Amino acid sequence: MHISGKLAIVGIVLFIGGLFVTFFLAYIVGDPLAMYINETTPDAAIPGIIAQHGLDQPPYIQFFYYLRDLFSGNWVGPLEAVAFEWWALTVVYLGGLLLFIISMAYYLLKVRKTG
């Protein structure tokens, strides 16, 4: 396998691994409900918020909701707070995606023509 193919595999592994790690830290270890409520949220509204955002579902269902919201641009909470808190992991999985895209482009443009 050419080095660009190996780099593409590393890139996709970093991207997918970063998605799992950020989901695990935000939804399993952290408190995802804190992203949706604040001190002015009435107590009666909290069960509705939990149901609306799927926080009452099993973790694997929540992961699919997380992916849906991530790729549709439906990000919750102040972007600065999320970026500040998870910036290192965001760099890892975005870097992995970029490495995958560049490696695949190089492979498709150069290696396949000469191979």
Could you give phi then psi for residue 107, rounded to 5 degrees?
Answer: -60, -45
Separation of alpha carbons 22 and 15, rounded Å: 11
Q: What are the residue boundaries of the structural domains of the chain, listed by start?
A: 3-114
Model confidence over 15-72: pLDDT tens digits?
A: 788 778 777 777 777 777 777 788 888 989 889 988 887 888 998 898 888 888 777 7
Return the pLDDT at 47: 92
The number of angstroms, rounded, from the C-alpha of 84 to the middle of its chain's C-alpha atoms is 15
Distance from chain centroid for Cα 48? 25
The set of residues, in sequence order, having a beta carbon less than 8 Å from that of 43 and lying 6+ positions away, is: none
CA gap 100, 5 in Å, rounded:
9
